[in-house]
Chain A
Amino acid sequence: MTLERAIALVFVVVCVVYGYTAFVVMEASLLPFERNMTFLPNVLPKWLSIIGALVGLAVMVQSGAGVGNGADVDDIDVGNLRQYKLGQAVTLLALMVAYALLLRPVGFVATTTLFLILGAVILGERRYVLLVPVSVLAAFLIWYLVQEVLGIFLRPWPWFL
């Protein structure tokens, strides 16, 4: 099965679950007075789940014929992922997750500095003399602009300060 079809299949499954929630779960949780109303919270979801499932099935039938895939010359070839820097991409994504988890406890300035330094190191940057000051300066400048100038609180320092 091609990736294209697999995604369509997942989508159809999502539609079925979504439809079940709309038709059964939400219907059961309606309040007595709501039953007489014309428009209910699950009216649109019901329509969506049916249309979605039909369209998903249509994609499954249609796809794979290779019609107008619109592939760019330098698009990613899914069949041969190993020729790309998959490791770097996955490490960067992990770094993003770490950033999300550490942002509150460690504070904006430190987390951002670390993120920018480590991100560049993962991509192969080794000129630390330039990298470290640039990252520190950027993190500090953005914090200053957003919090001090624009007044959006960012929790800049670690929890113990």
Chain B
Amino acid sequence: MVEGLLAGLSTAFTFQNLLMVVGGCLIGTFIGMLPGLGPMSIIAIMIPIAIQIGDPAAALILLAGVYYGAIFGGSTSSILINAPGVAGTVATAFDGYPMARQGQAGKALTIAAIASFSGGTVGAILLMGFAPGLATVALLFHSAEYFALMVVGLAAIAAFAGSGQVAKALMMTVLGVMLATVGESALFNAPRFTFGIQDLQSGISFITLAMALFALPEALYLVLNPKRSERGGNGESTIANLRITRQEAKEIAPVIGRQSLQGFFIGVMPGAGATIASFLGYAVERNIAKGEDQAKFGKGSVKGLAAPETANNAACTGSFVPLLTLGIPGSGTTAILLGALIALNVAPGPRLMVDNPSIFWAVIISMYIGNVVLLILNLPLIPYIAKLLEIPRNYLIPFILFFTMMGSYIGQNNATELLLLTGMGIVATIMRMAGYPLAPMLIGFILGPLLEDNFARAMNLTDGISFMWERPMTASLLVAALLLIFLPSIRAGLGQLKGDEAAQGD
């Protein structure tokens, strides 16, 4: 291992390759800020450039830099304008945006940068040590377990709802899964629930729904209630508040520690990836937190921001385990990277470590460098990025509206998507006014297709639904999901019995 590591170090630390990391991080960060262009599309765009470089190690280093940059850039738009451009940063907006509105945009971005850095670095260390062993464990997870894991992910919505809100959150989740069934699914070649409208055949795109649920209602709220935009981002405070206090550092340190590990191991399992890691990370931390701390989640909690950011990045690193050791891409992004690897004449799989040790290790080393460079590049940039919020309201709101539309248009190149966006945005705004939580709907929409695919596979394998109780791991995961849903209600019930107000959550 030491020789491999040294070989990797010497490859990664050439002038050309360092330049690749810096360039990749910069490009990734800036393009990633545009909603609609997530890591997946940016890497896809960069592939022709990477292939032209010719040297596989340099190309991979460039792509890894772009990947990290894009993830950080995506968090930026989540935090600043509540417009999560990728599924993995949806949970970032839950607490990041409230922080920005309280005039702490700079601090929120700093926490995001540090949490991402820690998650990525811990992930890279774990990747180095455990990659071969983990690959076999990940293979123990079958479709039945994946199905159960998705159910747990959906049940984690209980984390976004206080007492008395669970039914509403569940309702929104079901609605999200329903929306996900619109269009042709991967399993069947027939369109479903399209009402004969051709534009719906490819389904509703994630980015359209994300913009309609988060960014658009927020922009409309800003229009409806001008006082709302006055509170956040008042000049001085955004910059002065860049520093994290010692108290806050103490608060987020254990969160970062736990989520680096949890996120990495979720990321290792093919198909789970950064999105589930970030949602589960948020849910777990919210459940661990006590009393006042827990009530703060969703209203600008530093823990609530650090948890998904750490988990997200750790999982991204974790998803390299099945890619590099088995040749199985665990997420859309790693699938594109796999394509790039093959185009560069490198075949990932069990033989990679033996045949091309310098490439294997250079990729891992480049992850470290990418993380460090990202932190060094972005910390000084944060005050300027946060300044975006100081743009006068009359300019900012049309631009936010324009970027939400741009996000859903670029992906599909279809103007009907914009009408869909406006329509769903209006519905979402009304729901938000009535006090319905919107995040569960998006989670349902993201996990819905994964849930159905694995459900189908498991049912086909066992010829029925008996797998739910016959496989111990599936059964225990499903029980955990039930507990997640009913625990808040039970806890609230007990709390009321005791007359204990503190147990009420929010």
Contact = CB atoms under 8 A, between A and B. Distances in A.
Contact of B171 (A8, A84, A96, A112): A8
B474 to A, nearest CB: 16
Contacts of A88: 223-224
Contact of B181 (A48, A56, A119, A120): A48
Contact of A70 (B45, B165, B464): B165
A150 interface: yes
Given A116-B399, A125-B395, A65 B164 contact: yes
Contacts of A99: 405, 418
Interface of A: 2-4, 6-8, 11, 14, 18, 21, 26, 29, 38-39, 41-45, 48, 51-52, 55-56, 58-59, 62-63, 65, 67-71, 74-76, 78, 84-86, 88-89, 92-93, 96-97, 99-101, 103-104, 112, 115-116, 119-120, 123-125, 131, 134, 138, 142, 146, 150-153
Interface of B: 31, 37, 45, 162-165, 167-168, 170-171, 174-175, 177-178, 181, 185, 187-188, 190, 192-193, 220-221, 223-228, 231, 393-395, 397-399, 401-402, 405-406, 409-410, 413, 415-416, 418-419, 421-422, 425-426, 430-431, 433-436, 451-452, 455-456, 459-460, 463-464, 504-506
Contacts of B170: 55
15 contacts: A41-B185, A43-B456, A44-B452, A68-B506, A76-B433, A78-B434, A88-B223, A89-B223, A92-B397, A93-B426, A112-B402, A119-B397, A119-B398, A124-B394, A125-B394
Contact of B165 (A43, A68, A112): A68
Nearest to B191: A41
A90 B228 CA distance: 18
Given A21-B193, A39-B455, 4 more contacts: A26-B192, A92-B397, A97-B422, A104-B415
Nearest to A125: B394
A95 to B, nearest CB: 8
A100 B224 contact: no
By secondary structure, the A interface counts as helix
A138 B413 CA distance: 20
A62 B393 CA distance: 39
Contacts of A84: 224-225
Contacts of A58: 167
Contacts of B416: 100
B459 A100 contact: no
A67 B164 contact: yes
A24 to B, nearest CB: 14
A14 B175 CA distance: 9
A70 B506 contact: yes
Nearest to B42: A150
Closest 8 A/B residue pairs (Cβ): A119-B398, A67-B164, A100-B418, A125-B394, A84-B224, A39-B456, A52-B174, A3-B434
Nearest to B221: A76
A35 B393 CA distance: 58
B422 A100 contact: yes
A84 B401 CA distance: 19
Contacts of B190: 29, 41
A134 B395 contact: yes
Q: Which interface residue of B177, B410, B416, B434 has the most chain A CB atoms within 10 A?
A: B434
A7 B430 contact: yes
B435 A70 contact: yes
